[in-house]
Structure 1
Amino acid sequence: MLTRRQLRVKVMQCIYAITQSKDDSLEKQEKFLKVSVENTYTLYLLMLSLLRELHTMAENHVMHDTKKYMASATDSFPDKEKFIKNQLLLQLVNNPSLTAELNKRKIKGWYLNADYIKILYKEIVRSRLYKIYMAQEGNSYGEDKNLIIDLFREVIAPNEKLYEFFEDDKLTWVDDIPLVNTFVLKQFKSIKKDESPSYFLPELLKDQQDMEFALKLLSKTLLNNKALEDEIQGKTPNWDKDRIADIDAILLKMAICEFLNFPSIPERVSINEYLEIAKEYSTPKSSIFINGILDKLVKEYKTAGKLKKAGRGLL
């Protein structure tokens, strides 16, 4: 679920937090990193539980409509229960593995925040997608799946109120929201009618080595901060560390740390990763600035024999 690039971003956030707070506690930042990684999975589960709550609200509305004497808008639909019979939604609702995981983690984010469910449900019911779906008789698994994908992409994910809720709940979720939304959509697009319940509980990391990589990158960058600053010194005309954007300085240090401490990662891979992160998190010209410095350093390290790379994909 989390890639190495996303782990690099989380390490960057930890180092930035130290820069801003002047708290140089490595132990505290390692704990923050682990919690930040774990919270990404919590956000993913919250998104799935949101869809379950929307299903519950739809059930309640259908039940309420059947008890009314006056006609309602839903009466024009061939099957008022079509949405709550949506097969992809039911895969989430009737999923014992997902229920157990939500209970295990005590995720009850919508219990005290039902207003967000109401807002989203009203937007869904008013949407063109919902009306077209409900107006058609019968439903195939493909049609059910496409509806949920389209509703998630066009109604749920872009909702500003929902974004504000997540932003206020956890600081690191601001960066995790696009990642999690993209992953949820990927899951929905790939799911099959007879999918195992465990499908919705993927591994957070590819393997334990990814977490070890992130922790090592964090500790090596922080513990060698002065030496890494010295490596940058003089690599650009009129260099002044006080004038370099904080994010740029952090990304440079992390990249140099990878060059010198991670022999299995090709230097070009490291450079490309940090350039992409700079484009997203720093100034418009940061990637050009960072690329220039890193290219100079790589040439110097190769000449001096300091760049010792070995492993798969390397000569």
Structure 2
Amino acid sequence: MLGRRQLRAKAMQTLYAYYRGNNNPRANEKNMMNGIYEIQDLYHLMLDLLLAVKYEAEASIQKGLEKNLPSAEEANPNYRFVNNPIFKVLESNPELNEFREKHGELSWAIESSYPSKIFKALKNSEEYKKYQSAENVSFNQHRRFIIRLYKDFIAPSEEIYSYIEDKKINWAEDLAIANTMVLNTIQSFIAKSDENTKLLKLLLDESHLEFTKELVRESIAHEVELNEIIKNNASNWEIDRIALIDKILMQMALAEFLYFPNIPPKVTINEYIEIAKDFSTENSAIFINGILDKSLKDLTEKDKVRKSARGLM
């Protein structure tokens, strides 16, 4: 699920596009909203990849059975993996089935080389051999094995990352969110889970979208004022010499100080320091922290930071 930090990052990317020349605020805002909602599709696509790996396993079993002289293992295949109860929950899920019907262009059957390579690597692993040969396997063990499959063979895959990036350029940055959602989904399944089990929703509160749009709008509307604050508190730094990403992050944080009364300043500072670490540099995070601290003290002394008694995120 998307938290405020991820939404702030989306707002930052939108402002970056705006200042790099795509200065149509309405078009940028529309693209931002589309990008946010498309993370739900990415989440479904990555869940569907688990099933694609299962289908590769089934195809491998069938190929062995059809041989004229199958080995003992091929003639008596082990169906434990393909019968994993997690797969049954995913296969019967109406949301995932709807996604497949709506997005045939994203079918893993078309890009079968990816799940095929994942299954081959999995099949040769010690984890797979232990799982297949274990005497009794509980539901928790079935679930734990699918989590390991995802963590060890899908999430770290450079090939999957490149494929996702080719499909939609923003998805490369969103893949970590989708991976977390997939793992949380699998972890949430219990032995009684069935076709009525709900998948995760990208947004629990639609008001978070309004926050994101307002953050972009206020940052642009008060650009001159916010940049003046940055300039006054950036000792020995000309504002034109500050990296664009860093300037945008500080601009957004200052907008939160001044125009978002429900957000505590400490929350704002912490959030933008973490975003800077992800999208800029460690030195940028330190630099931003210093300027925001100085700016907050200055604005507070001037009674310009007015927060409600009960702060939100």
TM > 0.5: yes
Distance 1:12 1:199, change over 3 A: farther
Partners of 1:194 and 1:226 in 2: CA distance: 57
Q: 2:203 aligned to 191, 202, 205, which one?
A: 205
Q: Which region of structure 1 is more displaced relative to structure 2, 299-308 or 94-103?
A: 94-103
Aligned letter for 2:84? N
The aligned residue for residue 279 of structure 2 is 281
1:175-203: CA deviations, max 9, x gaps? 21122212211222232111253545222
Contact 1:301 / 1:307 at 8 angstroms: preserved in 2?
Answer: yes
The aligned residue for residue 25 of structure 1 is 24
The aligned residue for residue 122 of structure 1 is 120
1:99-139: CA deviations, max 9, x gaps? 12432455633242121121112112122211111122343
Distance 1:262 1:313, change over 3 A: closer
Aligned letter for 1:16? Y
Matches within 5 A, 1:98-177: 98-104=96-102, 108-177=106-175
Q: Which region of structure 1 is more displaced relative to structure 2, 118-127 or 151-160?
A: 118-127
Distance 1:61 1:46, change over 3 A: same
The aligned residue for residue 227 of structure 2 is 229
Give the % identical residues: 37
Contact 1:228 / 1:257 at 8 angstroms: preserved in 2?
Answer: yes
The aligned residue for residue 40 of structure 1 is 39
Contact 1:263 / 1:311 at 8 angstroms: preserved in 2?
Answer: no
Matches within 5 A, 1:68-107: 68-72=67-71, 74-75=73-74, 80-104=78-102
Aligned letter for 2:61? V
Partners of 1:50 and 1:200 in 2: CA distance: 18
Contact 1:98 / 1:198 at 8 angstroms: preserved in 2?
Answer: no
The aligned residue for residue 9 of structure 1 is 9
Partners of 2:11 and 2:266 in 1: CA distance: 20
Aligned letter for 1:13? Q
Partners of 2:288 and 2:279 in 1: CA distance: 13
1:218-268: CA deviations, max 9, x gaps? 111122222221121121222212211111101000000111111000011
Q: What is the count of residue pairs matched by the alignment? A: 312
Partner secondary structure for residue 292 of structure 1: helix
Cα displacement (A) at 1:287? 1.4
Cα displacement (A) at 1:312? 2.2
The aligned residue for residue 178 of structure 1 is 176
Cα displacement (A) at 1:311? 4.6
Partners of 2:51 and 2:140 in 1: CA distance: 19
Partners of 1:293 and 1:60 in 2: CA distance: 59
The aligned residue for residue 254 of structure 1 is 252
Q: Which region of structure 1 is more displaced relative to structure 2, 275-284 or 111-120?
A: 111-120
Distance 1:72 1:39, change over 3 A: farther
Q: Which region of structure 1 is more displaced relative to structure 2, 187-196 or 286-295?
A: 187-196
- In structure 2, stretches of 5+ residues that fail to align are none
Distance 1:106 1:178, change over 3 A: same
Contact 1:97 / 1:197 at 8 angstroms: preserved in 2?
Answer: no
